[in-house]
Chains A and B, each alone.
Chain A
Amino acid sequence: MDVLNGLVALANFVLVPAIAYGSQLALGALGVTLVYGILRFSNFAHGDSMAFGTLVVVLFTALFQSMGISLGPLPTALLAIPFGIAGAALLILGTDRLVYRFYRAQRVKPVILVIVSIGVMFVYEGLIRFIIGTGEQRFADGERFIISAREFKQMTGLREGLALKTTQGLTVVTAVIVVALLFWFLNRTRTGKSMRAFSDNEDLALLSGINPERVVMVTWLIVAALATVAGVLYGLDKSFKPFVYFQLLLPIFASAIVGGLGNPLGAIAGGFVVAFSEVGITYAWKKVLVYLMPEPLEPSGLVQLLSTDYKFAVSFVILLIVLLFRPTGLFKGKAV
C-alpha cells in the first residue's frame, strides 16, 4: 500500500504537472526551433508572440462569455483559439513585412536579426501592456477537474489523492494533436517538404524553384499557431500575465537548444527534459520518500534540492551542460 501511495503522490505532484508543463514548453520550443530552422535566427520576440496570441484569446473568451456561449465542461477559450491564431498571424506577418523582410533581402548576419527581434520584442511587449495592462488574467472556465483528489481517494481507498485538472488533460491532448498535425504537414505535404528542404540547404532549395517568401510566410503562420496554442494552454493551466510570458522565453529557449535548435523532434524532447528537471529539482520529495523508504531511513527535512525560485537556474544549468558537452543538442540540431 505504501508503495502505491508513494507512486500516486509522485504522479500527483511531479509527473502530471511536469507532463503538462513539458507539453507547453515543447509547443513553445517548436515555434522557436522552426524560426531558427527556416529564418536562421533566435527569435527573442517569441514569448511576446505567445502572449499576444493569448491576449486575443482572452479578449474573445470574455466576449463569448458575455454572449453566453460556452463549451460546457471545456473552457470557452478553446472556441477563441482560432481568433487568437488569426490575431497573432496578422501581427507576425505584418512584422515580417515591415521589419524582417528588409533584413532578409540584405542577407544580414543572424546576430543582427536577433537584435532586430529584440526591438520587435519591445514593441510587442508595449502593445500587449497597452491593450491589457500588466495584471493577471484568469480565463479558464468550465469543469475544473477531470478527477479531483477526493474522488480519487474514494475510488481507490488510498491515502494520497491524484488530481487531474481539466486544463492538464486538455494540454496533453491538444499538444499531441498539434504535434501530430505539424509532423504530418512537414513530412507529407508539398509545402512542408519544401520547408524542410529550405531549412536543410537554402541554396539548393532556391535552385529547385522553391519560393522563399512563401516558405517564410507559411513558417510564420505555423509559428503563430504554435505560439498561440502554447500560450493559451499555459494560461489556462496557470494564468495569463504578460511578464510571465516574457520570462517563459528562457525555459523555451533552453528546451529548443537542449533538443537541438532547428530540430522539431528535439524541441519536444527538450521541453520534457527541462520540465521534468525543473519540477523534480524544486519539488520537496519528503512526501514521496516517506512512503517509499523504510521507516528508519525516512527523511526529516523536506528533501527539496533547491527552492522553487531557482527553477530558471535549473533550465540553464541543463542548457549549459548540454551546450558544453554536446553543442548541437541531444538530437542533432543545426549550426548557423
Chain B
Amino acid sequence: MTQHARTASFFALILVLIVGTGFVQSWNTALLILNMGLVSAVMALGVNLQWGFAGLFNVGVMGFVALGGLAAVLVSMPPVGEAWAAGGLRIVLALVLGAATITAAILAYARVPATWRGWAIAAILIVGFFVYRAVFDPGVAAVEKINPAATGYLGGLGLPVLLAWPMGGVLAAGAAWVIGKTALGLRSDYLAIATLGIAEIIIAVMKNEDWLARGVKNVIGLPRPLPYEIDLQNDPGFVERAAGLGLDPTTASTLYVKLGYGVYFAIVLVILLVLAQLALNSPWGRMMRAIRDNETAARAMGKNVTRRHLEIFILGSAVCGMAGAMMTTLDSQLTPGSYQPLRYTFLIWVMVIVGGSGNNFGAVLGGFLIWFLWVQVEPLGVALMSVITAGMAEDSGLRTHLLDSVQHMRLLTMGLILLIVLRFYPRGLLPEK
C-alpha cells in the first residue's frame, strides 16, 4: 500500500469510529470526542515538531498546555478594577524587580571577575529576593482580599476569547525561550527530566498564585466564542430550524455549540497542519532532520545547532500552548488542579509515537486515535467486565472490585498500545517517508 493510501485509510478509520460512536452512543459523545481529538491532534503536532523534526525530548508538554489555559483566562476574563487599584501595580512592580534581579545576576555572571563572581551573584540574589518579597507580599494580600469568593485576582483583559489562542501560543513561546536558553544544551534524558520538572513548577505556580488566576479556586465561566445553549433554546428562529431538522431544541442547541467548536478547532488544525507540512518540506525542515539524524555532521556543515534547537523548541511549545488555550476555551474553565503529567504530557507522547513521529499526518492520526481509545476504553471495559463477572455472585467482593476498577484500565491499555507499537511498528502507524 502506498503511503497516501495508508494515510487515507487510517483517517477513514477515524471517521468511521467517530461516526460509529454517533450512531451507537450519541452524537453529543461523538462530537465531544471529535473536539478533544482536534485539540489533542494540535498538541501532538507541537510535540511532533520537537521530537519528530528535531529529536528534542520534551516531557514538559503539560506546562505549556497549562500556560495556554492561563492565557485564555488572562485574555478573556474582565479585569477586576478594585483589585488593580488595591495592589495590581505593586505586583507588577515586584515582578519587574524580580526580573531585574535575575538579569543583574546573569550580567554579574558574565561581567564580574571570577574571584568575586560567586559572592556578587549570591548577594544580588539574596537582596533581590527579600526586596521582591517585601514589595510583592502586601500587594498579593491586598488583591486576594477583594471578594475572594468570586474574584480575589487581577482578572484578565476582557478581550474576545478567540484572541487567547494565539496569545496562549505567545505565552508558551516566551516560557519556552527562557527554558530553552537554560536547558537545551542538556543531553536527551537530562532535558527530559528538566522539562518534566519545569512543567511541575508551572503547575505549582498556577495552583499557588491566587492573584494571577485564582489558583486552585479555579476560574469558571470563561466567555465563549459561541452562544449559550439556553439562549439558542429561547430563540424562536433556532427552534424552528431545529424542528425542521426533526430535532428537539435542547439536543439541537448542544449539537450546534459543539459543532461550532469543532469548526473553529478544525480551522486551527488545518492551518497548523499546512504550515507544518510546508516547514517539513522546506530547506529549514531538511536542515532540522539533518541535525536530528547527525548533530555532529550538521555542525560540521556550519549549521547552528543550538539556535535551530531553540527555534523549534519555541515553535513546538507555542503550538502546545495554543492547544491549551483552545482546550480551556472548550471547557470554559481553568482548573490547575486537574493538570497531571500522565494525561497532559505522556498521553500526548503516546499519540505521537503511535501515530508516527516525524510525520505530521501521523501525529494528527495519533491524536485522534489515542483520544478515541482514551475515552472509549472505559465503556468497553465495563462491557468486558460485565461478561467476565457474569458468572459471579451478585454480592461477591471480587466482582465489585473488578467493576470498580474498570476506570483504571485506560492507563493499562495506553501503556500496552505504546509498548506494542514500539515493538512491532517502531516508526508508528504512519511512518516518516
A residues bordering B, Cβ < 8 Å?
A: 41-42, 99, 102, 110-112, 114-116, 118-127, 129-131, 133-134, 243, 246-247, 249-250, 253-254, 257, 305, 307, 309-310, 312-313, 315-316, 319-320, 323-324, 327, 335-336
Whether B342 lies near A125 (C-beta < 8 A) is yes
Q: Which of B155-163, B164-172, B223-231, B418-426 is near enough to bind chain A?
A: B418-426
Task: Please list 28 pairs of residues, one from A and one from B, whose beta carbons are closer than 8 Å in the complex, sorted by A's number.
Answer: A99-B419, A114-B189, A115-B349, A119-B350, A122-B346, A122-B414, A123-B415, A125-B415, A126-B410, A126-B411, A126-B412, A127-B412, A129-B408, A130-B405, A130-B408, A130-B409, A130-B412, A133-B404, A133-B408, A249-B196, A253-B196, A254-B197, A310-B201, A312-B197, A312-B204, A320-B183, A323-B190, A336-B189
Whether B419 lies near A119 (C-beta < 8 A) is yes
**B36 / chain A contacts, CB cutoff of 8 Å:** none
Whether A123 lies near B419 (C-beta < 8 A) is yes
What 0/1 pattern do residues 157 to 195 of B give for CB contact below 8 A with A? 000000000000000000000000011001111101110
In whole angstroms, what is the CA distance A87 to B405 when docked? 21
**A122 / chain B contacts, CB cutoff of 8 Å:** 342, 346, 350, 411-412, 414-415, 418
- Assess whether B200 is interfacial by the CB under 8 Å rule: yes
Given contacts A115-B422, A120-B415, A129-B408, 9 further A-B pairs with CB under 8 A are A110-B189, A111-B57, A112-B422, A121-B415, A126-B411, A247-B200, A253-B193, A313-B204, A327-B190
- Assess whether B384 is interfacial by the CB under 8 Å rule: no
Whether A126 lies near B419 (C-beta < 8 A) is no
Whether A327 lies near B186 (C-beta < 8 A) is yes
B residues bordering A, Cβ < 8 Å?
A: 55, 57, 129, 182-183, 186-190, 192-194, 196-198, 200-201, 204-205, 207-208, 340-342, 346, 349-350, 353, 404-405, 408-416, 418-419, 422-423, 426
**Nearest CB in chain A: distance from B62 CB, A:** 12
**B205 / chain A contacts, CB cutoff of 8 Å:** 313
Whether B405 lies near A119 (C-beta < 8 A) is no
> Total A-B pairs in contact (CB under 8 Å)?
132
- Given known pairs A116-B422, A118-B418, A250-B200, the reply for A319 and B412 (CB within 8 Å) is no
Residue of A nearest to B195 (CB): A316
**A250 / chain B contacts, CB cutoff of 8 Å:** 193, 196-197, 200
**Nearest CB in chain B: distance from A5 CB, A:** 26
**Nearest CB in chain B: distance from A55 CB, A:** 13
Whether B419 lies near A116 (C-beta < 8 A) is yes
Among B188, B204, B408, the one with the most A-chain Cβ atoms within 10 Å of its Cβ is B408
**A243 / chain B contacts, CB cutoff of 8 Å:** 340
In whole angstroms, what is the CA distance A116 to B349 when docked? 11
**Nearest CB in chain A: distance from B381 CB, A:** 10
**Nearest CB in chain A: distance from B332 CB, A:** 26
- Given known pairs A129-B411, A312-B204, the reply for A118 and B346 (CB within 8 Å) is yes
**Nearest CB in chain A: distance from B340 CB, A:** 8
In whole angstroms, what is the CA distance A119 to B187 when docked? 21
Instruction: Please tell me which one of the listed residues B55, B346, B410 contacts residue A121 in the complex, with CB atoms under 8 A apart.
Output: B346
Whether B409 lies near A323 (C-beta < 8 A) is no
Residue of A nearest to B347 (CB): A122
**A249 / chain B contacts, CB cutoff of 8 Å:** 196
Whether B198 lies near A316 (C-beta < 8 A) is yes
Whether B204 lies near A310 (C-beta < 8 A) is yes
Residue of B nearest to A98 (CB): B419
Residue of A nearest to B55 (CB): A111
Whether B200 lies near A316 (C-beta < 8 A) is yes
**A319 / chain B contacts, CB cutoff of 8 Å:** 193-194, 197
Instruction: Please tell me which one of the listed residues B189, B198, B208, B341 contacts residue A42 in the complex, with CB atoms under 8 A apart.
Output: B189
**A324 / chain B contacts, CB cutoff of 8 Å:** 182
**B189 / chain A contacts, CB cutoff of 8 Å:** 41-42, 110-111, 114, 336
**B353 / chain A contacts, CB cutoff of 8 Å:** 115
**A41 / chain B contacts, CB cutoff of 8 Å:** 189
**B207 / chain A contacts, CB cutoff of 8 Å:** 309
Whether B415 lies near A42 (C-beta < 8 A) is no
Whether A119 lies near B204 (C-beta < 8 A) is no
**B349 / chain A contacts, CB cutoff of 8 Å:** 115, 118
Residue of A nearest to B216 (CB): A309
**A112 / chain B contacts, CB cutoff of 8 Å:** 422, 426
Whether B405 lies near A129 (C-beta < 8 A) is yes
Whether B193 lies near A42 (C-beta < 8 A) is yes
**Nearest CB in chain A: distance from B204 CB, A:** 5
In whole angstroms, what is the CA distance A319 to B188 when docked? 15
Instruction: Please tell me which one of the listed residues B57, B186, B208, B408 contacts residue A323 in the complex, with CB atoms under 8 A apart.
Output: B186
In whole angstroms, what is the CA distance A104 to B127 when docked? 51
